[in-house]
Structure 1
Amino acid sequence: MTVAPGDIGAIDIEENAGTDRLTLRVCGNDAVGHARLVATLDNLGKGAGGAAVQNLNIMAGVDPVAGLVF
Structure 2
Amino acid sequence: MTPGVPDSGSWPPPEEIVTVKLKRSQWNWAVSVLEHWNEIAEGVKDHEEAAEGRAVRDLIRARLAS
Tell me the TM-score range normalised by the shorter chain. Answer: 0.3 to 0.5
TM-score, normalised to structure 1, is: 0.34
Report the structure, 1 or 2, having the larger strand content: 1
Report the structure, 1 or 2, having the larger helix content: 2
TM-score, normalised to structure 2, is: 0.36
Larger Rg, first or second structure (1 or 2): 1
